[in-house]
Amino acid sequence: MFDPHDPLGIDDLLTDEDRAIRDTVRAWAADRVLPHVADWYERGEIPGIRELARELGSLGALGMQLTGYGCAGSSAVQYGLACLEVEAVDSGIRSLVSVQGSLAMYAIHRFGSEEQKLRWLPGMAAGEIIGCFGLTEPDHGSDPAGMRTYAKRDAGGDWVLTGRKMWITNGSVAGVAIVWARTDEGIRGFVVPTDRPGFSAPEIRHKWSLRASVTSELVLDEVRLPADAVLPEVTGLRGPLSCLSHARYGIVWGAMGAARTCFETALAYARSREQFGRPIAGFQLTQAKLADMAVELHKGILLAHHLGRRMDAGRLRPEQVSFGKLNNVREAIEICRTARTILGANGISLEYPVMRHATNLESVLTYEGTVEMHQLVLGKALTGVDAFR
Ligand SMILES: Cc1cc2nc3c(=O)[nH]c(=O)nc-3n(C[C@H](O)[C@H](O)[C@H](O)COP(=O)(O)OP(=O)(O)OC[C@H]3O[C@@H](n4cnc5c(N)ncnc54)[C@H](O)[C@@H]3O)c2cc1C
């Protein structure tokens, strides 16, 4: 039988364990986030963010794909399903999950010393310690190679960090920050406990997107760190870029969650809203919109599955992640905007989730590499010519 919620039968691709994880995360998000998120969004704050982090930790959703140190060791497909279900409720909460697991924890897990892993990962996996990831600076976003934040070694071997990071998710609530800085040996990553003297993280207010998410500036004013605060296993931009590739993979799935909610909302609305004496779902123009939305939604989910399987097989390339992020976020935002038109005036109201998702996706379109950056990554891979500069 044709299922309007799964027209391609993608559910058949899942194992019982995949479905159990998906359903658990879906139920948690419906219970703990959905009833409150419009209010958080309107107020521009998440009052219980630390409690939410702990609950996500007990679900095994933080650093989900990592192994050992209290992490769940789930598959890439399972991590993706969790991202989709969380983002189906709000991109801001998925951002918390992505930054914690795919950026901050992943950096320590992949490039950290054994001491750093033992010190930080179990608490982060449990959601007791929130992490952030500082790469972007006020004057260096798409081109992080030009970063100015500088770490200098003093005579005793300590590092002294000075600089500013901008637009940092979780910054003001983080207990630990992964900060990327220029050094005499190239770009290095530092594990910075946020209670160090000289560290502050003022929150960025007045956002019109990702309002149910903490975004901050990081100010590093001669923050002194011991010699072993550096991530020992990587030098150069390869470090942050491989973390970003991991997080982008989660976004490929997550964006489809936001799109799914908008599609489902528009479908239900079109069936019940009557104009000219009949449901608007009966008009050909509305059906064309719904059909196109469904095609892009389920193509995007299928693409996410394909990339997840490649990741689980150890065969996912960064260009393929760019392919997925470029397509899925761009299509998701289009689906949300089309859903908004189907809802008419109600489309702009916070009573419905559509405008909230659409404005959230404006951030998702920009962070973790803008549309243009992913076009350039793919353009370079296709032509062999680097057009970045
Ligand atoms: C809500 C939110 C949360 C974020 N969280 C984090 C975080 O946790 N950690 C972190 O480090 N960063 C974070 N960011 C920052 C994000 O990664 C950057 O905003 C992003 O990389 C783009 O940088 P920028 O804003 O400086 O734009 P710019 O790099 O200044 O780009 C501006 C425009 O120019 C285009 N452009 C730039 N170079 C080229 C080129 N060569 N060719 C064609 N077009 C080009 C871009 O595509 C874009 O359209 C966050 C951003 C937001 C909005």
Q: What is the CATH number of the domain that holds 204?
A: 2.40.110.10
Same domain, yes or no: 264 and 376:
yes
Q: Which atom of ligand 1 is nearest to the CA of 368?
A: 17
From 41, 99, 147, 367, give the residue whose CB has the most ligand 1 atoms within 8 Å, as the site to mutate.
Answer: 367
Q: Ligand 1 centre from 141 Cα, in Å?
A: 4
Residue 377 — very low, low, confident or very high, per pLDDT cuts 50/70/90? very high
Name the active-site residue from 137, 296, 331, 368. Answer: 368
In degrees and rounded to multiples of 5, residue 91 shows phi and psi of -65, -25
Neighbours of 146 (CB within 10 A): 11
Helix (H) or strand (E) holding 183: strand 176-183
Same domain, yes or no: 370 and 253:
yes
Q: Which of 168, 191, 72, 192 is nearest to 122 (CA)?
A: 72
pLDDT at 239: 97
Q: Which of 173, 201, 229 is the last residue of a domain?
A: 229
Same domain, yes or no: 202 and 315:
no
Same domain, yes or no: 216 and 159:
yes
pLDDT at 14: 98
Q: Ligand 1 centre from 366 Cα, in Å?
A: 6
Q: What is the mean pLDDT of residues 8-15?
A: 97
Q: pLDDT by residue (tens digit) across 160-205?
A: 999 999 999 999 999 999 999 999 999 999 999 999 999 999 999 9
Q: pLDDT by residue (tens digit) across 214-250?
A: 999 999 999 999 999 999 999 999 999 999 999 999 9
Q: pLDDT by residue (tens digit) across 31-50?
A: 999 999 999 999 999 999 99
Q: What percent of the chain has pLDDT over 70?
A: 100
Residue 389 domain-assigned (yes or no) = no
Q: Which of 229, 249, 265 is the last residue of a domain?
A: 229
Residue type, 40: W
Residue type, 204: I
In degrees and rounded to multiples of 5, residue 8 shows phi and psi of -95, 0
pLDDT reading at 148 higher than 90: yes
* Cβ–Cβ < 8 Å for 168, 134: yes
Residue 2 domain-assigned (yes or no) = no
From 41, 360, 370, 375, give the residue whose CB has the most ligand 1 atoms within 8 Å, as the site to mutate.
Answer: 370
| Tokens found for residue 98 | 């992505």
DSSP per residue, 242-307: HHHHHHHHHHHHHHHHHHHHHHHHHHHHHHH-EETTEEGGGSHHHHHHHHHHHHHHHHHHHHHHHH
Residue 18 — very low, low, confident or very high, per pLDDT cuts 50/70/90? very high
Residue 1 domain-assigned (yes or no) = no
Q: What is the mean pLDDT of residues 91-96?
A: 98
Residue 388 — very low, low, confident or very high, per pLDDT cuts 50/70/90? confident
User: How much of the chain is in helix, strand and coil states, percent to nearest 5?
Assistant: 55, 15, 30
pLDDT at 281: 98
First to last CA, the chain: 52
Q: Which of 125, 149, 175 is the last residue of a domain?
A: 125
Residues with CB under 6 A from ligand 1: 99, 133-136, 141-142, 167-169, 210, 215, 363, 366-367, 370, 372-373, 388
Q: What is the mean pLDDT of residues 147-172?
A: 97
Q: Where are the alpha helices (DSSP H) in 72-113?
A: 76-87, 91-98, 106-111
* Cβ–Cβ < 8 Å for 132, 169: yes
The residue whose C-alpha atom lies closest to atom 53 belonging to ligand 1 is 363
Q: Which atom of ligand 1 is nearest to the CA of 213?
A: 1
Contacts of 37 (CB under 8 A, 6+ apart): 89, 90, 92, 93, 212, 356
Domains contained in the chain, number: 3
Residue 388 domain-assigned (yes or no) = no
Instruction: Please give the DSSP secondary-structure letter assigned to residue 346.
Output: G
Q: pLDDT by residue (tens digit) across 274-300?
A: 999 999 999 999 999 999 999 999 999
Q: What percent of the chain has pLDDT over 90?
A: 99
Q: Which atom of ligand 1 is nearest to the CA of 373?
A: 47
- For residue 92, the domain's CATH number is 1.10.540.10
Q: What is the mean pLDDT of residues 358-378?
A: 97
pLDDT at 389: 72
Q: Ligand 1 centre from 248 Cα, in Å?
A: 14
Does residue 87 have an active-site annotation? no
Same domain, yes or no: 121 and 105:
yes
The domain of 253 spans 238-383
Residue 84 — very low, low, confident or very high, per pLDDT cuts 50/70/90? very high
In sequence order, what are the beta bridge partners of 134? 179
Q: Can you tell me whether residue 216 is helix, strand or coil?
A: strand
Residue 1 — very low, low, confident or very high, per pLDDT cuts 50/70/90? confident
CA–CA gap between residue 350 and residue 228 (Å, rounded):
48
- For residue 338, the domain's CATH number is 1.20.140.10
pLDDT at 274: 98
